[in-house]
Amino acid sequence: MLTGKVFKFGDNISTDLIVPGRLLHLRSNLPELAKHVLEDADATFAQRVKKGDFVVGGDNFGLGSSREHAPLVIKMAGVSAVLAKSFARIFFRNAINIGLPVLVCETDSFDDGDQLEIDLSAGTVRDLTNGAKLTFSPIPDIMLRILNEGGLVPYIQKHKDLVIPKGL
Amino acid sequence: MGKTLAEKILSTKSGTDARAGGMVVVPVDLVFVQDSTGPLTLRQLAELGIDTLKQPQRTVLFIDHSAPSPARELSNDHVFMRQFSRQKGGILSDVGEGVCHQRVAESWANPVEVIVGSDSHTTTAGAVGAFATGMGSTDIAVAIALGKTWFRVPETIRVKVNGHLHNGVYGKDLILHVIGAIGADGATYKSLEFGGEAIDKLGMSDRLTIANMAVEAGAKVGLFPSDKVTEEYLKLQGRPERYLPLGPDGDATYERTVEIDGELLEPTVSKPHTVDNTALARELKGVHIDQVFLGTCTNGRIEDFRIAARILKGRRAHAGTRLIVAPASQRTYLQMIEAGYMTTLVEAGGTVVPPGCAACLGVHQGVLGDGEACLSTANRNFKGRMGNPNAFVYLASPATAAATAITGEITDPREFL
C-alpha cells in the first residue's frame, strides 16, 4: 500500500519541464540533478516533496525526449508513483525499467495536497481527502513483471536473458 | 489478411507472424547512444554486469548534443564515452561529425531493419523503411549487451496524402499540419505510416524530416515504404546493395486513416509551447523573431540549406534578428561549402556553428534570453527547450525560417519565391 500527498500538474508535462537541457551538465551527477526535478513546472516542488508522495498529471505526461533521467530524478525525489490520464510511450517504458510505478487513471478528481492511498495489486486509488475511489488501468503483463522485479536491470540479471514468457 | 509496414518488418525480423497487439523479441541491426543519454546507458551496462558488446560494429556512440563541450562536466562525459569505445568497442562519432540521426541515415540505416537509439528522434530512420525508435538508457544498454529488444507490435495510423505539395510547401509543413490535426498524443504507442501520391513524389530529405517528427505525435515509429526514392538514396550513400523494396499490403488493417489533400497545405508554424499548437505562417505575420535557427536532425540537410540559400541569396538578415546556421553533419558542411551556400548564408549575416545539435536543446550556441522568440527548423518547442523557460520557440520549414530572417517577423516564404 502506498500513501502520500498529491502534487498536481497539468497536461503535457514534458521531459524538458522535468529535467531541462540547460542542466545537461548535471546528468552524470544525479543527486544534484534531482534537486531541480520539475523545476520549470513548479519551482518549489523539489523542496516540498516528501518520501512517498505522488506526482499527478493530466494527458500525455512525459512527452518529449528519451532521457531516462526524467523518471529517475522523480524517483530519487522520493515519489512513489506517477499518476496521469495518459503517458508518452518512452517515459512510460523508462519509468517501469527503473522501477517507478506509472499508473493510468482519471486524475481530475485529485486536488493538489490531497492524501492518496494506492493498492498496486488491487489496482485501486483512494483519495482519503475527498473519499473518491478509482481503479487504474492494468499495467501490461511484461511490464508488470519487470516492475515487480525492481526494473529491467534486476530482471535481466535474474533471467540471464531478455525473457518474454510465452502467451503474453 | 494483409500487413502494415510495421507488421511486415517485425514479422521478418522476429521470424513470427507479428500482428498489432502481439509481442515480439527482435534482433537489432543498429543500436546507438548520444552524449546526453549515453553515459547513463554505459553505466547501466556496467550495472547489468555484461562487459562485452554483442555487435561492436553495429553499436555507435555519438558525441553531438554538446559538441564541442561547453562545460567540464560534459567534457568528462565525452572522455567516458571515448574511453568506453577504445576499451570495450563500439564506433565513436566524435565532435564535428554531426547529429546521430543524420549520420545514421547517411551511413547505416537500411530498409527492413530494426534500429534503436537512446534518443527520441531515432524515428528518423523510418524514412528509409527501418523500424527505428527511441528508447531510454536501460533498454538501450540491454540492446547493446544482448543484441535484441522486445516490442509490442503497434497498431498503425495511415497518413494518406493525396495530390502534391505546392511550391513553398515542404515535408516540414506537412508533418506540422498532421501533428496539429491529430495532437501531440494523437499517435501515442502507434506506428504512423505515410503513403499516397504526394508521399510517393517526396524526396528523401523531406521523408527524413517527417519521420523525425513522428514522435512529436507520440508515435513509436514513422514509416515510409521503400521505393525508387529509397533506392536512389542508398545508391548516393554508397550502399546500393542494401536496397529492398517494401510496401504495405493493400488489405492491411489500419486503426484509422488520416487523409490529407496535399494541395491545400500551406506553410505551417508550431507556436509556443507545444508542437501541436499550429497556425499558418501567414496568420502569424507581425510576430517579431529575435533569432532564426537553421539546422538540426529535422532540417539540417543539404536540401534544407539549398532552400534557405535560394531565398537569402543577395539579401541580408534583418538588423534585429540573429541567424544561426548548423549543418547536421560534416558531410552536409562540406556539401554546403562546395555548393556555395556557406558563402550565401554568411553574406546574409548568418553565424555558422559546428555540425551537431547546437541550439536545439538549450545547452549552448544560441540559448535564448528572457522574453526572446526564436523561429527554429528543429522539432520541439517545449517551454525551456532552448535553455530558457522565459523564452518562446516557433517551429517551421527552412523556407519560412529564411523568409523570417529577412523580415525579422514570421513570414510566409511564398512572398520570396
Name the A residues in 114-143 with CB < 8 Å from any B CB. 140, 142
**Chains A and B: how many Cβ contacts under 8 Å?**
147
Angstrom distance (rounded) from CA B405 to CA B348: 9
| A109 touches A132 (CB < 8 A) | yes
- Quick one: angle between helices B100-107 and B204-213, nearest 10? 140
Torsion on CA atoms B178, B180, B183, B189, rounded to nearest 10: 30
Question: Same structural domain for residues A94 and A147?
Answer: no
Tell how far CA B208 is from the center of its chain.
6
Angstrom distance (rounded) from CA B273 to CA B255: 29
Give the burial class of B248: count Cβ atoms within 10 A of its Cβ; 0-12 exposed, 13-18 middle, 19 or more buried.
buried
Segment A139-160 shows an average pLDDT of 95
Question: Same structural domain for residues A131 and A161?
Answer: no
Identity of the residue in B118, B274, B362 whose CB atom sits nearest the CB atom of A66: B118
List, in order of start, the domains of chain B with CATH numbers. Answer: 5-261 (3.30.499.10), 269-409 (3.30.499.10)
Question: Same structural domain for residues A55 and A71?
Answer: yes
| B338 touches B311 (CB < 8 A) | no
Q: What's at B340, amino acid-wise?
A: G
Smallest Cα distance from A75 to chain B, Å = 15
Smallest Cα distance from A23 to chain B, Å = 8
pLDDT at B51: 78
Contact B134 A66 (CB under 8 A): yes
Give the burial class of B232: count Cβ atoms within 10 A of its Cβ; 0-12 exposed, 13-18 middle, 19 or more buried.
middle
Question: Same structural domain for residues A55 and A15?
Answer: yes
Pairing mode, strands B373-376 and B59-62: unpaired
Tell how far CA B145 is from the center of its chain.
26
pLDDT at B147: 98
Angstrom distance (rounded) from CA A26 to CA A38: 14
Question: Same structural domain for residues A34 and A67?
Answer: yes
Domain of residue A146: give its range.
138-168
pLDDT at B307: 98
Closest Cα to residue A110, out of A1, A9, A3, A2?
Answer: A9
Angstrom distance (rounded) from CA B184 to CA B120: 14
Identity of the residue in A40, A63, A164 whose CB atom sits nearest the CB atom of B389: A40
Q: What's at A108, amino acid-wise?
A: D
Domain count, chain A: 2
* Reported confidence tier of residue A165, pLDDT bands at 50, 70, 90: confident
Geometric angle at alpha carbon A53, from A48 and A55, rounded to 5°: 90
Beta strands in B28-130 (DSSP E): 30-34, 59-62, 91-93, 114-117
Contact B384 A29 (CB under 8 A): no
Mean pLDDT, chain A, rounded, equals 96
pLDDT at A164: 85
| B359 touches B377 (CB < 8 A) | no
Question: Same structural domain for residues A9 and A61?
Answer: yes
Which residues of chain B are within 8 Å of residue A149 when distances are taken between CB atoms? Answer: none
- Quick one: angle between helices A69-76 and A89-97, nearest 10? 50
Retrieve residue A46's grid coordinates: 523539489
**pLDDT tens per residue, range A4-15:** 999 999 999 999
**How much of chain B is in helix, strand and coil states, percent to nearest 5?**
40, 20, 40
Q: What is the phi/psi pair of residue B348, to 5°?
A: -80, 0
Q: What is the CATH number of the domain that holds A128?
A: 3.20.19.10
Smallest Cα distance from B339 to chain A, Å = 34
Contact B37 A67 (CB under 8 A): yes
Contact A20 B80 (CB under 8 A): no
Angstrom distance (rounded) from CA A168 to CA B13: 19
Question: Same structural domain for residues A58 and A40?
Answer: yes
Question: Same structural domain for residues A18 and A69?
Answer: yes
Question: Same structural domain for residues A19 and A87?
Answer: yes
Q: What is the pTM of this model?
A: 0.98
Contact B188 A88 (CB under 8 A): yes
**C-alpha distances in Å from residue A9, one per residue of A67, B297, B408:** 20, 31, 36
pLDDT tens sequence for chain B (417 residues): 899 999 999 999 999 999 999 999 999 999 999 999 999 999 999 999 987 999 999 999 999 999 999 999 999 999 999 999 999 999 999 999 999 999 999 999 999 999 999 999 999 999 999 999 999 999 999 999 999 999 999 999 999 999 999 999 999 999 999 999 999 999 999 999 999 999 999 999 999 999 999 999 999 999 999 999 999 999 999 999 999 999 999 999 999 999 999 999 999 999 999 999 999 999 999 999 999 999 999 999 999 999 999 999 999 999 999 999 999 999 999 999 999 999 999 999 999 999 999 999 999 999 999 999 999 999 999 999 999 999 999 999 999 999 999 999 999 999 999
Contact B25 A152 (CB under 8 A): no
| B153 touches B255 (CB < 8 A) | no
Nearest residue of chain B to residue A165 (CA atoms): B23
Total residues belonging to chain B = 417
Angstrom distance (rounded) from CA A88 to CA A77: 21
Q: What is the share, in percent, of chain A residues with pLDDT greater than 90? A: 96
SS3 string, B101-152, reads HHHHHHHCCCCCCEEEECCHHHHHHHHHCCEEEECCHHHHHHHHHHCEEEEE
Retrieve residue B83's grid coordinates: 574511453
**pLDDT tens per residue, range A113-130:** 999 999 999 999 999 999
Has residue A167 got a pLDDT over 90?
no
Identity of the residue in A12, A21, A157 whose CB atom sits nearest the CB atom of B48: A157
Angstrom distance (rounded) from CA A102 to CA A82: 5
The contacts of residue B99 (CB under 8 Å, 6+ apart) are: B62, B64, B296, B297, B300, B328, B329, B355, B356, B357
Pairing mode, strands B291-295 and B322-326: parallel
Question: Same structural domain for residues A118 and A154?
Answer: no
Angstrom distance (rounded) from CA B305 to CA B377: 11
Contact A65 B136 (CB under 8 A): no
**pLDDT tens per residue, range A13-72:** 999 999 999 999 999 999 999 999 999 999 999 999 999 999 999 999 999 999 999 999
Question: Same structural domain for residues A44 and A88?
Answer: yes
Angstrom distance (rounded) from CA A69 to CA A146: 18
Retrieve residue B361's grid coordinates: 536543446
Has residue A168 got a pLDDT over 80?
no
Contact A12 B274 (CB under 8 A): yes
Angstrom distance (rounded) from CA A150 to CA A129: 30
pLDDT at A163: 86
Question: Same structural domain for residues A144 and A128?
Answer: no
